[in-house]
């Protein structure tokens, strides 16, 4: 079989209805926001059985990331080919217009609470839009015990146990699996393990207008997955790795992913040899230069740099802010 050479791959987002969503993601995309009603999530890069994002243009247009992983693993994944059954990261934009449920995700190895083929779910956020009424709930207040949680659930007072803060645009927040959390009235970028396991402790009395009923809770499972040692979480302090020609900040580095934020008006390098990287435009626009050809990276767009592509140059038009995600190595 003759394989098509890889190039910077731009993917089409998959929009997801969520009862807590809104329409603010329209401000993050160069193209109109598809669909109607409450769009809570845009899945930018997803290798899920039920939702696999597709290449938007070029010779591989219409191919899903799953198909690329299966048909061209060495070209796409480089030295990690054979290690992953699917691409290990899931990238999203979230528009949380109404409060997200009070929830928790299991850690890797939490037997009995992770279905076969899944993993735990550590995630992280970068705040893109916020207001004085926005809120991030992350972690329990110091000293909260399992008995305290039981009483709060019975009395419907769980919010009193949650640590929280008012976020600012640009804040970067790391949420280890096992952390009780919620969001209210903000837009974030999210990078996470490729998992879709969420256990709800409380849903703020939301009623789904599509069903006329509250959404189900998974209190027993959620309680079993809570890390009571994880107390109040605050924004991380970015590590500045470079000041010119780009301000390069490393926001997160853990066993599951690394994320940088690049802010620049002048060309700078992105990508790395023999490993995939993912670029997300969150302000401004520009082009990725590869083998003398330009590849668009607009506002709200995601481009996967396959391992075969390696290092490239990003040329901003004006001031651009680009997030770059790396899978585990």
Count of C-beta atoms within a 10 Å radius of residue 157: 12
Which backbone phi and psi does 71 adopt, to 5 degrees?
A: -90, -30
Model pTM?
0.96
Q: What is the pLDDT of residue 169?
A: 98
pLDDT < 70 positions in the chain: 1-2, 35
Q: What is the pLDDT of residue 82?
A: 87
- Using alpha carbons, select from 165, 162, 109 the residue that is nearest to residue 135: 165
Domains 9-225 and 239-326 equal at CATH topology level: yes
CATH topology assigned to domain 9-225 = Jelly Rolls (2.60.120)
Q: What is the pLDDT of residue 30?
A: 72
Distance of CA 226 to the CA centre of its chain: 21
CB 316 within 8 A of CB 19: no
Which backbone phi and psi does 207 adopt, to 5 degrees?
A: -120, 125
- Using alpha carbons, select from 82, 35, 39, 76 the residue that is nearest to residue 55: 76
CB 260 within 8 A of CB 183: no
- Using alpha carbons, select from 323, 326, 327 the residue that is nearest to residue 93: 323
Q: What is the pLDDT of residue 1?
A: 44
For residue range 301-325, list pLDDT tens digits in order: 999 999 999 999 999 999 999 999 9
Kindly list the domain boundaries of the chain, sorted by start residue.
9-225, 239-326
Domain spanning 239-326: which CATH class is it, in words? Answer: mainly beta
Q: What is the pLDDT of residue 254?
A: 97
Q: What is the pLDDT of residue 2?
A: 52
Distance of CA 294 to the CA centre of its chain: 26
CA dist 232 and 217 (Å) reads 23
Q: What is the pLDDT of residue 209?
A: 85
């Amino acid at each position: 079989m003759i394989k098509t050479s890889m190039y910077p791959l731009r993917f089409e987002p998959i929009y997801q209805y969520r009862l807590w969503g809104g329409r603010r993601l329209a401000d993050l995309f160069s193209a109109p926001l598809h669909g109607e009603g409450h769009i809570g999530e845009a899945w930018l890069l997803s290798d899920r059985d039920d939702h696999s994002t597709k290449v938007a243009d070029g010779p591989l247009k219409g191919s899903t990331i799953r198909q690329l992983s299966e048909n061209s693993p060495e070209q796409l994944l480089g030295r990690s080919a054979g290690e992953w059954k699917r691409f290990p990261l899931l990238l999203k934009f979230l528009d949380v217009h109404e409060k997200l449920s009070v929830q928790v995700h299991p850690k890797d190895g939490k037997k009995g609470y992770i279905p076969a083929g899944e993993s735990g779910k550590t995630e992280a956020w970068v705040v893109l839009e916020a207001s004085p009424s926005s809120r991030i709930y992350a972690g329990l207040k110091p000293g909260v015990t399992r008995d305290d949680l039981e009483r709060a659930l019975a009395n419907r007072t769980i919010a009193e146990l949650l640590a929280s803060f008012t976020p600012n645009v640009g804040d970067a927040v790391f949420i280890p699996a096992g952390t009780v959390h919620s969001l209210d009235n903000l837009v974030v970028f999210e990078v996470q393990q490729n998992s879709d396991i969420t256990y709800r402790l409380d849903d703020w009395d939301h009623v789904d207008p599509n069903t006329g009923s509250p959404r189900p809770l998974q209190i027993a499972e959620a309680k079993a997955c809570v890390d009571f040692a994880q107390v109040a979480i605050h924004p991380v302090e970015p590590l500045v790795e470079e000041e010119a020609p780009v301000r390069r900040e490393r926001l997160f580095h853990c066993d599951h992913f690394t994320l940088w934020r690049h802010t620049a008006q002048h060309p700078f390098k992105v990508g790395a040899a023999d490993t995939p990287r993912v670029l997300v435009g969150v302000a401004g626009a520009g082009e990725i230069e590869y083998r003398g050809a330009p590849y668009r990276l607009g506002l709200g767009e995601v481009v996967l740099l396959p391992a075969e592509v390696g290092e490239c140059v990003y040329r901003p038009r004006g001031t651009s802010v680009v997030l770059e995600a790396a899978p585990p190595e």
